[in-house]
Amino acid sequence: MNYMEKYFYNLNIAFEAVVANRFRSVLTALGIIFGVAAVIAMMAIGNGARQEILEQMKMVGVNNIIIRPLYADDDSRDESTRGRFSPGLTLQDVESIASIVPTVQRISPEVEISAYAMTGGIRRPVRVAGITPEYFNVFSLGLSRGTMFSPDQMKEGAPVAIIGNNIRAIFFGNTDPIGKQIKAGNNWLTVVGVVEDRMVTEEATRNLGVSEFNNVIYTPVQTMLLRFQDRSAVKIEEIQRTRMGGRGRGGVVIISGSAGNGNAEEVQYQNYHQLDRVVAQVEESEQLAPTAELIRRMLVRRHNNVEDFEVIIPELLLEQEQRTKDIFNIVLGAIAGISLIVGGIGIMNIMLASVMERTREIGVRLAVGAKKTDVVFQFLSESTLISVAGGLLGIFLGIALSRGIMHFTDILSIVSLGSVILSFGVAATVGIVFGYMPAKKAASKDPVTSLRYE
């Protein structure tokens, strides 16, 4: 019998032994099955989390700094700044940042309102955003059709619009919207472009202030301020409230109740900021923190030492979120890895028991001329077969578990080929490592003693 024939003969004996004790073999493999499934599922969740972070990075843009207004009552301010007037976040702030801060490569102001849009007998609530063309550069957002706002349209506040993909689908269907008009609020706007389809998660919208690009009508910021709303303009209502004893800009207190009783029953704070958000983009990530601090200090001075805004660095928030998720995934992966080790210990225990049960069989094989290496290979093959079979079943269970998690919990999970290969390789290694000791013990038995064993 040559080497290959002996190899397959010993492997066949091992396979017959596993099949003959199939129930025990399945129970032995359970630790491997669940361990492999857990590793694949945990790595799939980790890959999904990483993919979400990358998508959020694309949505907030690279190296961006977000400046958002705050609406603080005088009572919540530092004593030294109480009663001071602040112009709020304005276009003048944007111009100052662009001209003074050298590390700012691009800057995008935004004003957003809610309104009803109407055309062709269809009327829906929408969001209208006043922007500049830099908005699309900052967020790496392109147009699926049409053109960008021209410099003349920006300067004159022309009634033009670029619409999101969902707005196009709702109001225009399969027809080309370019050149057609849509009414937003009280203004008719001519559509000059359509934004490319880009999905945004609710978490990104809430935590990072990212707009849902598909459901917005974009218009030049000057068009927004001239034709829709300019909160920086002083209105007659504010003058009247000031005369009644309330406060004007900087947090309006509206007094309601019986005329002249002086009791404040309701307090509301008016949004006096001209802009709803400013996004500044720097060239290098190392410039984010110092640029953000420089912008903060400059705006504090421009706002008369009233810090009625916040400066956010989304990339740092996302990096922190990624680190948190990585730690979580490492812990879960370690727990899953422990399951594989426990499964390996189970294989070793069962194989040791199998060696004791089959002492006479071992003695017969040694007596008829089998070498110790043949016995080692036989029992090592049994443990490897159990772990490999458990690994294969674990792969299918892990993929099913990943799909189930994504379906029932809306947690993105991505099964990668690397996680499958890694978990299966570990399972096979566990079978070899933990099966070697029982195999060695079986081969070391004395044939004469083994033949006498009852």
- Summarised one tens digit per residue, pLDDT across range 222-278 is 999 999 988 777 555 554 554 454 444 444 433 333 333 444 444 445 678 889 889
389 in a domain, yes or no? yes
Percent of the chain with pLDDT over 70: 74
Together in a domain, 154 and 83 = yes
Among 153-162, 329-338, 377-386, the range scoring the smallest mean pLDDT is 329-338
If one counts every other C-beta atom within 10 angstroms of the C-beta of residue 264, the result is: 13
217 in a domain, yes or no? yes
Among 293-307, 335-349, 420-434, the range scoring the smallest mean pLDDT is 335-349
364 in a domain, yes or no? yes
Please report which confidence band the pLDDT of residue 446 belongs to, taking 50, 70 and 90 as the band edges. Answer: low
Together in a domain, 130 and 211 = yes
259 in a domain, yes or no? no
Together in a domain, 24 and 129 = no
Among 208-212, 300-304, 396-400, the range scoring the smallest mean pLDDT is 208-212
Together in a domain, 328 and 214 = no
Please report which confidence band the pLDDT of residue 200 belongs to, taking 50, 70 and 90 as the band edges. Answer: low
Q: Which residues 6+ apart lie within 8 Å of 405 measured at CB?
A: 41, 44, 45, 411, 413
Together in a domain, 37 and 161 = no
Distance CA 219, CA 222 (A): 8
Question: Residue 376: which domain range?
Answer: 3-56+320-452
414, pLDDT greater than 90? no
Parallel/antiparallel/unpaired status of strands 143-146 and 160-163: unpaired
451, pLDDT greater than 70? no
Q: Which of 307, 333, 367 is the last residue of a domain?
A: 307
Together in a domain, 408 and 442 = yes
- Greatest mean pLDDT among 35-44, 157-166, 198-207, 282-291 lies in 157-166
Given a contact cutoff of 8 angstroms between Cβ atoms, the answer to whether 275 and 69 are in contact is yes
More confident residue, 104 or 4: 104
Please report which confidence band the pLDDT of residue 199 belongs to, taking 50, 70 and 90 as the band edges. Answer: low
Token code pair at residue 33: 């099955």
125 in a domain, yes or no? yes
Together in a domain, 187 and 119 = yes
pLDDT of 258: 37
Together in a domain, 376 and 431 = yes
212, pLDDT greater than 60? yes
pLDDT of 98: 92
243 in a domain, yes or no? no
* Domain count within the chain: 2
Q: Which of 307, 331, 350 is the last residue of a domain?
A: 307
Together in a domain, 344 and 439 = yes
Please report which confidence band the pLDDT of residue 191 belongs to, taking 50, 70 and 90 as the band edges. Answer: very high
Of 105, 161, 152, 102, residue with least CA distance to 131:
161
Residues 156-185 have a mean pLDDT of 91
Together in a domain, 36 and 115 = no
- Model confidence pTM above 0.95: no
pLDDT of 6: 66
Instruction: Please state, rounded to an integer, the average pLDDT across all residues of the chain.
Output: 77
Together in a domain, 149 and 217 = yes
Of 384, 391, 390, residue with least CA distance to 419:
391
Please report which confidence band the pLDDT of residue 196 belongs to, taking 50, 70 and 90 as the band edges. Answer: confident
244 in a domain, yes or no? no
pLDDT of 72: 56
pLDDT of 260: 39
More confident residue, 78 or 327: 327
Together in a domain, 287 and 426 = no
pLDDT of 299: 92
419-446 as b/e, with b when 16 or more CB fall inside 10 Å? bbeebbebbbebbbebbbbbbebbbebe
Beta bridge partners of 129: 112, 218
41 in a domain, yes or no? yes
65, pLDDT greater than 80? yes
